[in-house]
Structure 1
Amino acid sequence: MDVDENLPRRPGDPLADIARQDLDPLSVDELHARIAVLEAEIARARKKIEYAVNHRASAEALFKR
Protein backbone atom coordinates (compact mmCIF):
# COMPACT_ATOMS: atom_id res chain seq x y z
CA MET A 1 0.00 0.00 0.00
CA ASP A 2 1.33 3.40 -1.00
CA VAL A 3 1.44 6.04 1.74
CA ASP A 4 0.03 8.65 -0.65
CA GLU A 5 -3.06 6.48 -1.23
CA ASN A 6 -4.81 7.89 1.85
CA LEU A 7 -3.98 11.52 1.16
CA PRO A 8 -6.40 14.00 -0.34
CA ARG A 9 -6.19 14.32 -4.12
CA ARG A 10 -6.55 18.10 -4.40
CA PRO A 11 -3.59 19.80 -6.05
CA GLY A 12 -1.71 22.04 -3.66
CA ASP A 13 -3.12 20.26 -0.59
CA PRO A 14 -0.87 21.15 2.38
CA LEU A 15 -1.22 17.72 3.98
CA ALA A 16 -0.12 15.95 0.81
CA ASP A 17 2.76 18.43 0.48
CA ILE A 18 3.93 17.71 4.02
CA ALA A 19 3.81 13.96 3.46
CA ARG A 20 5.94 14.26 0.31
CA GLN A 21 8.67 16.42 1.85
CA ASP A 22 12.15 14.94 1.93
CA LEU A 23 13.17 14.49 5.56
CA ASP A 24 16.83 13.68 4.81
CA PRO A 25 18.11 17.28 4.99
CA LEU A 26 16.50 17.90 8.40
CA SER A 27 18.48 17.70 11.63
CA VAL A 28 17.32 15.70 14.62
CA ASP A 29 16.21 18.92 16.34
CA GLU A 30 14.25 19.94 13.26
CA LEU A 31 12.60 16.52 13.13
CA HIS A 32 11.64 16.77 16.80
CA ALA A 33 10.16 20.23 16.17
CA ARG A 34 8.25 18.88 13.17
CA ILE A 35 6.84 16.03 15.27
CA ALA A 36 5.76 18.49 17.98
CA VAL A 37 3.91 20.64 15.44
CA LEU A 38 2.24 17.59 13.87
CA GLU A 39 1.21 16.22 17.29
CA ALA A 40 -0.32 19.60 18.17
CA GLU A 41 -2.27 19.52 14.91
CA ILE A 42 -3.46 15.98 15.65
CA ALA A 43 -4.65 17.10 19.09
CA ARG A 44 -6.48 20.03 17.51
CA ALA A 45 -8.18 17.75 14.99
CA ARG A 46 -9.18 15.27 17.72
CA LYS A 47 -10.65 18.12 19.78
CA LYS A 48 -12.69 19.25 16.76
CA ILE A 49 -13.95 15.69 16.20
CA GLU A 50 -14.95 15.40 19.86
CA TYR A 51 -16.78 18.72 19.70
CA ALA A 52 -18.61 17.70 16.52
CA VAL A 53 -19.67 14.34 17.96
CA ASN A 54 -20.85 15.88 21.22
CA HIS A 55 -22.64 18.70 19.41
CA ARG A 56 -24.48 16.25 17.19
CA ALA A 57 -25.43 14.05 20.14
CA SER A 58 -26.77 17.09 22.00
CA ALA A 59 -28.80 18.18 18.99
CA GLU A 60 -30.21 14.69 18.50
CA ALA A 61 -31.17 14.48 22.18
CA LEU A 62 -32.83 17.89 22.01
CA PHE A 63 -34.96 17.04 18.98
CA LYS A 64 -35.88 13.47 19.96
CA ARG A 65 -39.54 12.91 20.67
Structure 2
Amino acid sequence: MSFEDLEPRPQAGEALKALGREDLDLYAVDDLHERIAVLEAEIARSKAAIDGKSSKRSAADALFNFR
Protein backbone atom coordinates (compact mmCIF):
# COMPACT_ATOMS: atom_id res chain seq x y z
CA MET A 1 0.00 0.00 0.00
CA SER A 2 1.32 3.43 -0.89
CA PHE A 3 0.65 6.77 0.75
CA GLU A 4 -1.56 7.68 -2.21
CA ASP A 5 -3.93 4.88 -1.20
CA LEU A 6 -4.40 6.51 2.21
CA GLU A 7 -5.36 9.92 0.86
CA PRO A 8 -9.08 10.62 0.52
CA ARG A 9 -10.40 10.64 -3.02
CA PRO A 10 -11.60 14.02 -4.25
CA GLN A 11 -15.35 14.36 -4.38
CA ALA A 12 -17.08 14.70 -7.74
CA GLY A 13 -17.26 18.31 -8.84
CA GLU A 14 -14.51 19.60 -6.53
CA ALA A 15 -12.30 20.68 -9.44
CA LEU A 16 -15.21 22.59 -10.96
CA LYS A 17 -15.93 24.33 -7.65
CA ALA A 18 -12.25 25.28 -7.36
CA LEU A 19 -12.40 26.86 -10.83
CA GLY A 20 -15.32 29.01 -9.71
CA ARG A 21 -13.35 30.31 -6.73
CA GLU A 22 -10.21 31.14 -8.70
CA ASP A 23 -9.19 34.81 -8.83
CA LEU A 24 -9.43 35.85 -12.47
CA ASP A 25 -7.69 39.17 -11.83
CA LEU A 26 -4.40 37.27 -11.86
CA TYR A 27 -4.81 36.25 -15.52
CA ALA A 28 -3.82 38.20 -18.63
CA VAL A 29 -6.37 38.61 -21.41
CA ASP A 30 -4.67 35.94 -23.54
CA ASP A 31 -4.74 33.56 -20.59
CA LEU A 32 -8.45 34.20 -20.13
CA HIS A 33 -9.09 33.45 -23.82
CA GLU A 34 -7.18 30.18 -23.44
CA ARG A 35 -9.16 29.38 -20.30
CA ILE A 36 -12.43 29.96 -22.17
CA ALA A 37 -11.30 27.65 -24.99
CA VAL A 38 -10.44 24.90 -22.51
CA LEU A 39 -13.76 25.32 -20.71
CA GLU A 40 -15.68 25.24 -24.00
CA ALA A 41 -13.89 22.00 -24.92
CA GLU A 42 -14.91 20.57 -21.54
CA ILE A 43 -18.52 21.63 -22.15
CA ALA A 44 -18.46 19.84 -25.52
CA ARG A 45 -17.00 16.73 -23.85
CA SER A 46 -19.72 16.83 -21.19
CA LYS A 47 -22.46 17.22 -23.81
CA ALA A 48 -21.05 14.24 -25.74
CA ALA A 49 -21.12 12.17 -22.55
CA ILE A 50 -24.75 13.17 -21.97
CA ASP A 51 -25.66 12.21 -25.55
CA GLY A 52 -23.92 8.85 -25.17
CA LYS A 53 -25.64 8.09 -21.88
CA SER A 54 -29.01 9.19 -23.23
CA SER A 55 -28.73 6.95 -26.29
CA LYS A 56 -27.76 3.98 -24.11
CA ARG A 57 -30.71 4.67 -21.84
CA SER A 58 -33.07 4.93 -24.81
CA ALA A 59 -31.78 1.63 -26.19
CA ALA A 60 -32.23 -0.07 -22.82
CA ASP A 61 -35.72 1.37 -22.43
CA ALA A 62 -36.67 0.14 -25.90
CA LEU A 63 -35.26 -3.30 -25.19
CA PHE A 64 -37.03 -3.73 -21.87
CA ASN A 65 -40.15 -1.64 -22.65
CA PHE A 66 -39.97 0.50 -19.49
CA ARG A 67 -41.89 3.32 -21.10
Alpha-carbon deviations, 1:11-49, whole Å to 9, x = none?
A: x91111000000001011000000000000000000000
Larger radius of gyration: 2
Tell me the amino acid that sits aligned with residue 54 of structure 2: V
Structure 2 CA distance for aligned equivalents of residues 56 and 20 of structure 1: 34
Q: What count of residue pairs does the alignment treat as equivalent?
A: 55
The equivalent residue for 1:54 is 55
Q: Alignment partner of 1:24: what SS?
A: helix
Tell me the amino acid that sits aligned with residue 50 of structure 1: D
- Structure ranking higher on relative contact order (CA contacts 8 Å, 6+ apart): 1
The equivalent residue for 2:29 is 28
Give me the identity figure in percent: 49
Moved beyond 6 Å, runs of 4+: none
